[in-house]
Structure 1
């Protein structure tokens, strides 16, 4: 980056000669290849947001024809870039043209007062040589085919498809996990650690095994993978601050423990002990600095069984556990990830008819400085600060409301009701409402109407109604004491699905129009009325319950594509011929499932499988019987860097699974 600090103004200067330039990289270039033009003049401007305007480039092709590119606006260095793709062999002649313009307070050359006339100029002509054969480009490195470790040399750009992170704790449903294009196809164990004393107790207690944490007291919770670092909570939540508890970090590839320590709010041992809530990898890309920042975030404040997201976020270094900074008064709501890893929270209020958007990258008190007209605006420096993440701040292009993080606040239609179930950044959010007779924990009876609606999140039309459609349910729902619930939604896959418990069938709606698009499906096995788990992802709707039969439907048509049965050859399960597997995640065209239940009896059933199924065909990729038994109440299997990390409730050890 170039430091753009104004020098002394030359008093009384009325005109100034300019010096236009043109460059091309690469030169020579092949037919059909892209070359980057460097267009501008040699006079910089005073402030980073300023630029010269109206520049053009004339291009004469080898046959003598001409075209004009532009107009272009430069950045504050006086230059800018433009792509050009020649389509024939020979020599092209390029020349930049700078039009005369007068400096203003918003467009001022370094060393010249406001009102100076910047005279027009033409650059020297540049010959761009275009060859029939393409010019060499830097060769991509192939993806790894064997065992590898972190850190990944940043020159290995093509490795990103296999080097993903899991920044939110694992949850049942089978969310799609990107960046794991080499997800395991065997149950090969890379390493293991003892989490707590586990497994068979032995001696006089006979078959009794160690308590797994199910129900309500889960272990291995808060599990995350941040750039190859597995982070998890060592013990369960019982006892709170009255008993020691700490966080563990492990190298996903080698199994090496990197650190194990207690973490505290504000890095103050007299304050609340905090635990992993989520991770963030944030790409800061400005005129000063470019690169990612990896964070482990532990929340405090707020809380409660049904409470919204906590109010304070404490940021730590994932590699060392070092405390970095704290944000207070963070808005509650679903954490959505922007294109640079920024966290975006949309807050919709049907009581106030408003919709707001908060963007973590717009917490400008975390910058080096809050003045856009200064080099300090270009650096991300939150370390060592305690920042009110929604507090008052200067009005800037990033914070038009004068509040940290908030970028817009709009009105929504006054007749909306119900719940938001999914978001797509800068596109839309979708929600639903319904008419019903009664509701209880886990179901809603007598649903006679379902209304699906969508609201625009496009900054140019945010808050406007995109659709609102009502579907009258079948009589079997309204007259048969049927409990209905929202099953799963994915805007990216175009479907919102509802589940009718006693009928064990599903109905799908379009997230583009709100209209019913399929269903009811044929009924699933009757046991799926218990423990139903589902997900919409990778173009599919996955649905299963305690029957141990996975049903895979096309998400937009409802067509049943396959079923998979986790057979129980030794009759361990007391209520079914199949194992009660649950979906964990989808990665690399495969869905991974594990055995668990709400409140298992002891001794545990033996041989519970961990399963990988091809999501295209339904074929079993691998099945590991008696390994990696999951938990309903603690941390489930997660994946990062194409390696699975999981606790096994059979022995209370943590395992890494992947290529060795």
Structure 2
């Protein structure tokens, strides 16, 4: 079955096999790792489609934002970018789930809200809950087959954690797991909590005090707590409503490890390996900043066995922990020399060191991620770099441009984590602790991940987005509104000025193509190349663009004989309300069906409309005026006839006169005779 290219929504009908290649969920804040903080928060979603244009589907105000005005001048409301992060969404089955909390706290919460991915409308709210991540668990046992979706609210100290589990569809509480040997939700790293192969929650706890490595498995805890009566553990999945599960049942293994140098914690897990790291400062006499010895330790993720340990001397690798292991490699940044260092996860050996980055502002390269065989980085310099994962050679360099005096960096900085999906990179401009008066020109950039070429951009500090099913959702910290970007529905109309005309007449086919997205219903649809300026005009109080390109409309006609024929293609005019028009002369008598088709594009789903036109028989032809030659010829023929007619008329007059005279003579003779008789 072909993959969808038109506008579509969840649920996906179960017979549409193959759609997994363009549809996916966003279950953790960094897609597959739990915490998306203010930095070191890159993410890669390998399955989902992602927006090809900056078309806005809907917006929703969730905090005060923008300029307050009056005595505060140009100052904007607090953004929470430094720490709180007001919107770190999850996406599950066409629904967005996010935690609401006060404007100056990232710990205290109001609760968790669920809204519709396609409209932004509220679905449910859990008072006081702080949902950390969602889970889709694949149940495959002799009696049950399919997926179950849960939400997890995790709290308490590491190694003795409590998790409250909720139903993801209704938001209702289900059960609690206590006494979890929990590795934690690591900040500034991918961390020790991941999904297992069936969607189970796996959390690795590195105990440096007792030299132990412990793996906790959610599915073991639940199956062991609720075994099927008379059957084996795992033959049925049936956690009891309101139950309290002893999390100690979920310990999959607890193994001894060697005494490790320093106090390493788990940075990232991937491809069957666990990478733990620590750094030890080494202050040299006369040295302003400390040199660090980085301690890297690798473990086997299946058994907990330590594989190797390396001490690496780097100047300042603060917050440079790797977010991903890919193709057997991980990468770190040396901010003193502005170089990337790539290591083999299997052996710990260094594979390559990149050339130094050219800008001093590249010292703030907090964001590094691996995807599609490349290493991507960005910083405060306004550059996005891509390096070949195998060689360390620079593959491409995208520059966001000169910011003039708007920023102190010369360009527009990036502090948040960029997001990779569908062969594209989405990067937003922002910085740590931005001033209350915002600098101008910040954008969300969409780049081709292979070439580094710009695909589109739009105004906004749209940081740390989540992407699923072709949609990107992020909070714009310049106005306090959530923007969800992606393809929206459209509506096409068509009609004719006169629907009954005689054969040979011309009719004017008219219509519109309008956007039906919740953000701007019944506004003109526009071409991708005009989309950024059009969306900024509609939603960000920017000036209306003087030139806006419309969308193409194909016109067809079903003829009276039943044949289906292409008529022409016209382009709408957005600045005139999205109208189009075409003058057309039907070639035969009978009833026509006129069809207008907008095929859709990167911004809109397709739509079509039809109308009826009837052509009657042509009226009789009026006599044609004589030509000069015809007039001359007739004149030559008429002249002799005129002379004959005149002669005949003279003879007739003479005869009439003679008859009248004779009649008078006869009458006179009769009169005389009668008189003589008397």
Counterpart among 200, 211, 224 of residue 67 in structure 2: 200
> How large is the Cα RMSD of the aligned pairs?
2.9
Using the TM superposition, give the Cα deviation of residue 234 of structure 1 relative to its aligned residue in structure 2, in angstroms.
3.1
Counterparts of 2:203 and 2:435 in 1: how far apart (Å)?
Answer: 41
1:572 maps to 2:406: yes
8 Å CA contact 2:404–2:410 kept in 1: the answer is no
* Residue pair 1:366, 1:387 contacting (<8 A) in 2 also: no
2:87 to 216, 220, 223: 220
Label 1:650 to 1:339 Cα distance change in 2 as closer, same or farther (>3 A). same
Alignment partner, residue 88 of structure 1:
none
> Can you list the C-alpha shifts for 1:488-513, whole angstroms capped at 9, x where unaligned?
15333322323222322222211122
- Which of 217, 222, 225 is the matching residue for 1:359? 217
What do residues 110-131 of structure 1 show as CA deviations (whole Å, max 9, x unaligned)?
xxxxxxxxxxxxxxxxxxxxxx
Deviation at 1:179, TM superposition (A): 2.6
- Secondary structure in 1 aligned to 2:361? helix
- Secondary structure at the aligned position of 1:276 is classed as coil
Structure 1 residues 654 and 218: alpha-carbon distance in aligned structure 2, compared to 1, 3 A threshold: same
CA deviation after TM superposition for structure 1 residue 154, in Å: 1.5
Q: Where do residues 92-241 of structure 1 align in structure 2 (5 Å cutoff)?
A: 141-170=1-30, 171=36, 172-180=40-48, 182-221=49-88, 223-236=89-102, 238=104
Q: For residue 613 of structure 1, what is the aligned residue in structure 2?
A: 447
Aligned partner of residue 20 in structure 2, secondary structure: helix
> More deviation in 341-350 or 430-439?
430-439
User: 1: distance between equivalents of 2:106 and 2:360?
Assistant: 40
Aligned pairs for 1:210-289 (under 5 A) are 210-221=77-88, 223-236=89-102, 238=104, 245-262=110-127, 273-289=128-144
In the alignment, what sits opposite 2:388? 554
- Alignment gaps of 5+ in structure 2: 31-35, 184-191, 489-678
After superposition, residues 170-569 of structure 1 pair within 5 angstroms as 170=30, 171=36, 172-180=40-48, 182-221=49-88, 223-236=89-102, 238=104, 245-262=110-127, 273-302=128-157, 308=158, 311-333=161-183, 334-364=192-222, 368-369=226-227, 374=231, 377-391=234-248, 404-414=249-259, 418-424=264-270, 427-432=272-277, 436-438=281-283, 445-447=290-292, 450=294, 452-458=296-302, 462-469=303-310, 473=313, 486-530=320-364, 532-568=366-402
Q: Partners in 2 of 1:250 and 1:301 — Cα distance?
A: 28
Inter-CA distance 309–630: structure 2 relative to 1 (3 Å threshold): farther
The 1:240/1:501 distance shift into structure 2, 3 A limit, reads: closer
Once residues 415 and 310 of structure 1 are traced to their aligned partners in structure 2, the CA distance between those partners, rounded to angstroms, is: 23
Offset of 1:547 from its aligned partner?
0.9
Distance 2:14 2:119 in 1: 20
Cα distance in 2 for partners of 1:598, 1:405 equals 39
Q: 1:376 to 1:543 in 2, by over 3 A?
A: closer
Q: Quick one: distance in 2 between partners of 1:483 and 1:515?
A: 18
- d(CA) in 2 for partners of 1:548 and 1:310? 43
- Does the C-alpha gap of structure 1 residues 150 and 485 become closer, same or farther in structure 2, counting only changes over 3 Å? closer
**3-state SS of the aligned residue for 1:512?**
coil
Distance 1:366 1:253 in 2: 39
> Is the Cα contact below 8 Å between 1:568 and 1:579 reproduced in 2?
no
Shift in alpha-carbon separation, 1:503–1:292, aligned structure 2, 3 A = same
Structure 1 residue 453: deviation in Å? 3.6
Change (3 A) 1:198 1:239: same
The answer (yes or no) to whether the contact 2:445–2:456 under 8 Å persists in 1 is yes
Q: 1:28-47 to 2 correspondence within 5 Å?
A: none
C-alpha displacement at 1:256, in angstroms? 2.7
CA contact (8 A) 2:222 2:239 kept: no
- Distance verdict in 2 for CA 1:463–1:482, change over 3 Å: closer
d(CA) in 1 for partners of 2:308 and 2:78?
A: 50
Q: Per the alignment, do residues 388 and 260 of structure 1 end up closer, same or farther by CA in structure 2, a change over 3 Å counting? A: closer
Alpha-carbon spacing, 1:532–1:429, altered in 2? closer, same or farther (3 Å): closer
The 1:415–1:278 alpha-carbon spacing in structure 2 relative to 1, beyond 3 Å, is: closer
Q: CA deviation at 1:363?
A: 1.0
Alignment check: 8 A CA contact 2:323 2:368 kept: no
> Does 1:657 pair with 2:657?
no
Deviation at 1:257, TM superposition (A): 2.0
Measure the CA separation in 2 of the matches of 1:582 and 1:431.
Answer: 23
Structure 2 Cα separation of the partners of residues 570 and 186 of structure 1: 27
With over 3 angstroms needed to count, the CA separation of the structure-2 counterparts of 1:524 and 1:496, relative to structure 1, is: farther
TM-score, normalisation: structure 1: 0.65
Cα pair distance change 1:192/1:341, threshold 3 Å? same
TM-score normalised by length of structure 2? 0.64
Residues 294 and 514 (structure 1 numbering): CA distance in 2 closer, same or farther, change over 3 Å? same
Alpha-carbon contact 1:507-1:521 (below 8 Å) kept: no
> Quick one: distance in 1 between partners of 2:97 and 2:260?
44
- Alpha-carbon deviations, 1:320-362, whole Å to 9, x = none? 2211111112222121111110111122334433222221111
**Kindly tell me: are residues 614 and 652 of structure 1, through their superposed partners in 2, closer, same or farther at Cα, counting changes over 3 Å?**
same
> Mapping of 1:49-60 within 5 angstroms?
none
Distance 1:357 1:160 in 2: 30
Which residue of 2 is the match for residue 24 of structure 1?
Answer: none
CA distance in 1, matches of 2:15, 2:339: 50
Larger % of helix: which?
A: 2
- Shift of residue 655, structure 1, vs aligned partner: 1.5
Structure 1 runs not aligned, ≥5 long: 1-140, 263-272, 303-307, 392-403
Q: Distance in 2 between matches of 1:516 and 1:320?
A: 49
